[in-house]
Chain A
Amino acid sequence: DGGITQSPKYLFRKEGQNVTLSCEQNLNHDAMYWYRQDPGQGLRLIYYSQIVNDFQKGDIAEGYSVSREKKESFPLTVTSAQKNPTAFYLCASSAMWAEETQYFGPGTRLLVL
């Protein structure tokens, strides 16, 4: 089946710890995105990547980092600099030159201990 997978489903972070969220897609999409969702809110863009080895900051990039070493993978690291990391994190992808529908993964819930 083609789609987007995210892992883990739940993640717990301790004070001062960096954690990495995984996002993998087998849709052969060029573009990938990371969003953050807080309770009762819409999604906000953290980072996006149009092609391998390239990525751009979104609206709320502070305290996060990403890499895009492979077309299929776009991991997100939540660093200790992110002071309020508790949220639901969603990864998405889209084909660059086709209709720009974004397809979403099932999400990762990050909780701070």
Chain B
Amino acid sequence: GIQVEQSPPDLILQEGANSTLRCNFSDSVNNLQWFHQNPWGQLINLFYIPSGTKQNGRLSATTVATERYSLLYISSSQTTDSGVYFCAVERDSGAGSYQLTFGKGTKLSVIP
């Protein structure tokens, strides 16, 4: 099956710092999503980004599908950004069903 690798596995930032999280995947995919899981376990979709660049406030993401990677940028980090960031790729299993394969995540801790 498809492999999804995220780096770094752990990241500690001072509040206000910037960071870049990376997601590499081993095969062609239909799509890619970034999620944030807060300390209580809730997953929130950040970006749905098959290619190109999107921005939402202090967050932005870039996917280069031809080179099989995606980057998530966090600028001016805040303590509320803490949690685990997951990259998930969609493979088409046929018959219109899209299944997500998740990476193991990057655990971000933002300290005051």
Interface residues of A (CB under 8 A from B): 31, 33, 40-45, 48, 50, 56, 58-59, 88, 90, 92, 94, 96-97, 99-104, 106-107, 109
Contacts and interface: CB of A to CB of B under 8 A. Distances in A.
Interface stretch (B53-61, B75-83, B97-105): B97-105
Contact of B102 (A42, A94, A99): A42
B86 A50 contact: no
A56 B41 contact: no
B49 to A, nearest CB: 11
Given A43-B102, A101-B48, 12 more contacts: A31-B97, A42-B86, A43-B100, A45-B100, A48-B97, A92-B43, A97-B96, A99-B48, A100-B30, A100-B98, A102-B33, A104-B42
A33 to B, nearest CB: 8
27 contacts: A40-B104, A41-B104, A42-B103, A42-B104, A42-B105, A43-B86, A43-B88, A43-B100, A43-B102, A44-B102, A45-B99, A45-B101, A48-B99, A50-B95, A56-B97, A88-B41, A90-B43, A92-B43, A100-B30, A101-B33, A101-B48, A103-B45, A104-B35, A104-B44, A106-B41, A106-B42, A107-B41
> Chain B interface mostly helix, strand, loop or mixed?
strand
B90 interface: yes
A107 B41 CA distance: 7
A31 B41 CA distance: 22
B19 interface: no
Contacts of B48: 99-101
